[in-house]
Chains A and B, each alone.
Chain A
Amino acid sequence: MKQLMGVINLDHELDNLNELTYFRCGAAVPFASRYRLIDFVLSNMMRAELESVGLFVRRKYRSLMDHLGDGKSWDMNRKHGGLFILPPDWNDPTDTSLGDLQHFHNNLDFFKRASAKYIVHSGSQHINTIDFQELYSYHLQKGADVTLVYKKIDQLEPEHDPCLRLEVDGEGNVTNIHHEKNHPNIYLDMFIMEKELFLEQVEYCIAHGESFFFRDAIQKRRDKLKIAAFEYTGYHAVINSLSSYYKNSMELLNQEEYTDLFRDNLVQTKIKYEAPTHYLESANVSNSLVANGCIIAGTVENSVIFRGVQIRKGARVVNSVVMQKCIIEENAVIENVILDKDVQLSRERILVGDSKRPFVIAKSSKM
């Protein structure tokens, strides 16, 4: 029997990737040439064969739903269980719940109908390749009420600032949860706990006028729970700002990072039927990731190119991220630029951003 069910909670994630999240939520932001951020957590859940996955969305989820469809790409189009997209839609005048607790409260049926005994909770901003089955065994072995996942970061960056930190004792128990910026143990927004306990906590918090599950049920009630810590050591990136988006995209050009993230090619995404990429005689490409369906006649250096991009003769793309179906006309130049989907850059046009603050061009612009 499948013991685990998944909760992907986008409720508290801020859509702060500027132009990239004007019209879509953070989880739907395209990443790594052909994926969207949500693909990574969904693929992790697919690998762990979760019974069902509930995706709690609140804002700007049109493109996310388009991407997810019936969940087939993640093998989640099941007769029993599978993927459930759960938007906030409730008109109970007696309902007093708030925040993500309101979500959970309004979807009690989703939890109760599943036969799984444990809930795996995750957000979408921490990109990783965690094995949830391993987390599950660890959780059982520790006999904890809840197990939180963290990664010890050698070099803290600005994107880690908003993340919570876990203090862990020698036995792998969480002794404190806080926001101290210099602490290296980053909480990955992921935990596992028994479903019954989870629902009890939800009821309790609502009864006490509280609004955020993690803060109110776990962080604040730390002393009443046995909280274990699971250290994750694989590939990890936090995408919670434009600069972290750009930096982590560029770092995928590093072979080690690329193989770390894709080592078993297990990241799934919505299937597109693109031809393989065509490099014309005049193409000149180096140190770049290129998805299918592109036609490249120009120069591409240190860049991440999404599906169906056309780069015409004499054009130069350097240190840039070029999303789906952009067209870069002859002799145009971009450097340190992020082009969102469907941008058309006319001939001879030159756009140069700063390597720390890339220039971002919003979706479907014609320049």
Chain B
Amino acid sequence: MKKKEMVAMLLAGGQGKRLKGLTKSIAKPAVYFGGTYRIIDFPLSNCTNSGIDTVGVLTQYEPLVLSSYIGIGSDWDLNRKNGGVFVLPPHEREDGSSWYRGTADAIYRNLKFVDQFDPEHVLILSGDHIYKMNYNAMLEYHKEKKADCTISVIDVPIEDASRFGILNTEENLKIYEFEEKPAKPKSTLASMGVYIFKWEVLRRALLEDGEDALSSHDFGKDIIPALLSKGKSMYAYPFEGYWRDVGTVNSLWEANMDLLSDNPPLNLNDPSWRIYTRNPNQPAQYVAPGAKVSGSIINEGCIVRGEVKHSVLFYAVEVGEGSVITDSVIMPKVKIGKNVRIHKAIINENTVIEDYLEIGTDRENEDEILLIDNRSKKRKSVPAKTI
């Protein structure tokens, strides 16, 4: 293999338990987002748009959908003769076998994969964030600072800071302390889970960590603190722009809703930074006479006969006459009957919603987003009186 300046390693093995039924049979990075995408489309498209052509995708939990989705990577222009995208599941080795024990362990067990490209730098990404970012600009910064490790950070409100890994830096953004979910955060610079390491430095740290029986083999908990304590040169790279962790049903819903304003903070229609995805190849969407659609994004293959307000419809969704959908996310191939009401809900793919059902219209706690699939809908929805 030809030498690469930087190889990306995308951590995509997580189950994402807090997404409940959405990750019952697929890994979190394969969860749908934004009318046509899956979460993993964002880091993969960022790689392509940043000119990174070699990406290892580390899978573990329910990898079938994810690996068949990625395929040979042609949808992201990552089908390359030299490089491209590689799906890297846990594997058996001479010294035994086990699952990836943590994020760092996943990279440790794929040292040989990275080594074959002999890179100067390695980019570590996670598959559960929605953002558009030029990793190449970050690499330039990393090289300029002559850093051993650069961590991308975003400024978060101080009241949210304790949910993140918080970096404390000197004025020149040199990191002196990293605190995972601190009770009393000292700064508002939250780690985005995007790291660039000098491969040589990371390689040594992974080898040491791999031998350490007490380690949890995690980047945030083990590798980064260890490198800090050794006095390695580590810098924060401030990112400005839209970034969202979509690890819970509520945050996934919110991130979808963020797309719906007239000038959304995340522009999906930007020809200079396309988000690539596998195209389901559906006919154009049909909006029937009498239908009403506003403040919404709707994908191809949908047939809308009712009213869709402030909602996201994935491909091949059908909405029957007289139905009203508000503030909701409807996953692919959902069939919604006539005179249905859906409010503040996520309807999982392939769900059939019978005529006259009401979902989420009559509840006390509007902060909770209902998640409906074919199993749950009988329990969670109440048939309304016949109109």
On A, residues with C-beta under 8 Å from B are: 32-34, 72, 253, 255, 258, 261-262, 265, 267-269, 271-293, 295, 297, 300, 304-305
> What A residues does B289 contact at CB under 8 A?
286-287
Contact of B285 among A284, A290, A297 (CB under 8 A): A290
On B, residues with C-beta under 8 Å from A are: 34-36, 74-75, 259, 262, 264, 268-269, 274-277, 279, 281-301, 312-314, 316
Cα distance, A189 to B291, chains bound together (Å) = 39
Distance of B33 from chain A, by nearest CB (Å): 11
Task: Tell me if A273 and B283 are in contact (CB < 8 A).
Answer: no
Task: Tell me if B276 and A273 are in contact (CB < 8 A).
Answer: yes
A72, A267, A280, A305 interface centre (most CB from chain B within 10 Å) = A280
Task: Tell me if B35 and A275 are in contact (CB < 8 A).
Answer: yes
Distance of B131 from chain A, by nearest CB (Å): 15
Contact of A286 among B279, B281, B285, B288 (CB under 8 A): B288
Count of inter-chain pairs, beta carbons less than 8 A: 112
Contact of A278 among B269, B281, B284, B301 (CB under 8 A): B269
> What A residues does B288 contact at CB under 8 A?
255, 286-287
Task: Tell me if A288 and B299 are in contact (CB < 8 A).
Answer: no
Task: Tell me if B299 and A280 are in contact (CB < 8 A).
Answer: no
Contact of A265 among B281, B286, B287 (CB under 8 A): B281
Task: Tell me if A291 and B268 are in contact (CB < 8 A).
Answer: no
In the complex where A282-B294, A285-B293, A286-B291 touch, is A277 in contact with B285 (Cβ < 8 A)?
yes
Task: Tell me if B284 and A34 are in contact (CB < 8 A).
Answer: yes
**Which residue of A is nearest B290, CB measured?**
A286
Task: Tell me if A289 and B299 are in contact (CB < 8 A).
Answer: no
Task: Tell me if A285 and B287 are in contact (CB < 8 A).
Answer: yes
Task: Tell me if B283 and A277 are in contact (CB < 8 A).
Answer: no
**Which residue of A is nearest B264, CB measured?**
A278
Distance of A283 from chain B, by nearest CB (Å): 5
In the complex where A286-B290, A292-B300, A295-B269 touch, is A32 in contact with B35 (Cβ < 8 A)?
no
Cα distance, A297 to B296, chains bound together (Å) = 11
**Which residue of A is nearest B312, CB measured?**
A276
Distance of A118 from chain B, by nearest CB (Å): 28
Task: Tell me if A258 and B283 are in contact (CB < 8 A).
Answer: yes
**Which residue of B is nearest A278, CB measured?**
B297
**Which residue of A is nearest B282, CB measured?**
A265
In the complex where A281-B262, A289-B286 touch, is A265 in contact with B294 (Cβ < 8 A)?
no
The 9 closest A-B pairs by CB, nearest first: A33-B284, A276-B35, A275-B268, A276-B299, A262-B283, A289-B284, A287-B289, A291-B284, A271-B279
Task: Tell me if A275 and B269 are in contact (CB < 8 A).
Answer: yes
> What A residues does B269 contact at CB under 8 A?
274-275, 278, 293, 295
Task: Tell me if B298 and A279 are in contact (CB < 8 A).
Answer: yes
Question: What are some 9 contacts across the A-B interface (CB < 8 A)?
Answer: A32-B284, A34-B284, A34-B300, A72-B74, A279-B294, A285-B293, A287-B287, A287-B289, A289-B285
Distance of A344 from chain B, by nearest CB (Å): 16
Distance of B318 from chain A, by nearest CB (Å): 11
Cα distance, A276 to B289, chains bound together (Å) = 21
Known: A273-B279, A274-B269. 8 other contacts (CB 8 A): A32-B283, A32-B284, A265-B301, A271-B279, A277-B298, A279-B296, A283-B294, A290-B285
B297, B300, B314 interface centre (most CB from chain A within 10 Å) = B300
Task: Tell me if A276 and B284 are in contact (CB < 8 A).
Answer: no
Task: Tell me if B297 and A34 are in contact (CB < 8 A).
Answer: no
Task: Tell me if A288 and B287 are in contact (CB < 8 A).
Answer: yes
**Which residue of A is nearest B270, CB measured?**
A275
Task: Tell me if B295 and A280 are in contact (CB < 8 A).
Answer: yes
Contact of A276 among B34, B262, B287, B294 (CB under 8 A): B34
Cα distance, A280 to B314, chains bound together (Å) = 17
Distance of A289 from chain B, by nearest CB (Å): 4
Task: Tell me if B262 and A280 are in contact (CB < 8 A).
Answer: yes
Cα distance, A273 to B286, chains bound together (Å) = 20
Cα distance, A291 to B291, chains bound together (Å) = 17
> What A residues does B299 contact at CB under 8 A?
276-277, 292
Cα distance, A314 to B197, chains bound together (Å) = 52
**Which residue of B is nearest A262, CB measured?**
B283
Cα distance, A272 to B259, chains bound together (Å) = 20
> What B residues does A276 contact at CB under 8 A?
34-36, 268, 297-300, 312-314
Task: Tell me if A285 and B300 are in contact (CB < 8 A).
Answer: no
Distance of A256 from chain B, by nearest CB (Å): 12
> What B residues does A271 contact at CB under 8 A?
75, 279, 281
Cα distance, A300 to B288, chains bound together (Å) = 11
Task: Tell me if B284 and A290 are in contact (CB < 8 A).
Answer: yes
Distance of B62 from chain A, by nearest CB (Å): 26
Task: Tell me if B293 and A279 are in contact (CB < 8 A).
Answer: yes
> What B residues does A275 contact at CB under 8 A?
34-36, 268-269, 275, 297
> What B residues does A33 contact at CB under 8 A?
283-284
> What B residues does A305 contact at CB under 8 A?
284
**Which residue of A is nearest B274, CB measured?**
A273
